[in-house]
A = this chain, B = another copy of it.
């Protein structure tokens, strides 16, 4: 099954001028995005080609910037955070109104969270601790988009954009976004979807 994961990264820096030695601080928690990329794509000795990961960066100095990682096209990606951070820096050098492929499989644009959501052409699920259990969720489509918040969660304004999305829970605990992605993949892997 094709999956799209969308993360709103409310403080992630929107210029290439952040230090790979301080992705949490100087990068505005760019480390969270790097770990989500790892979770979205890495299998042992393989990448998940049926997955996209979209991060909407809303930190200074030039928000919004949207990064789109496409599993079927990705190259030069290693599992470590610093490697992904380097590819994000390259992407942030290429920001323009038109979506641009900065390195194979990584696309950068000026889209906002609202624009990203409005362009999604499949069922949207909002991962939320108060939602329906993912284990019992009926699966009716061959493509699903999962929306995740960062450590600040989504604002009321963001949640209004998701008013038609089903709220789905994956755990009784509140988890980091990258851990949520692993669990979602596992649910569908187990169903061979």
Contact = CB atoms under 8 A, between A and B. Distances in A.
Interface of A: 20-21, 23-24, 31-32, 35, 38-39, 42-45, 78-83, 135, 151, 170-176, 179, 182-183, 186, 189-190, 192
A78 B22 CA distance: 12
Number of copies: 2
Contacts of A83: 24
B21 A82 contact: yes
A43 B171 CA distance: 11
Contacts of A172: 189-190, 192
A80 B78 contact: no
Contacts of A186: 170-171, 183, 186
A112 to B, nearest CB: 25
A80 B21 CA distance: 10
A183 B42 CA distance: 15
Contacts of A190: 135, 171-172
B179 A39 contact: yes
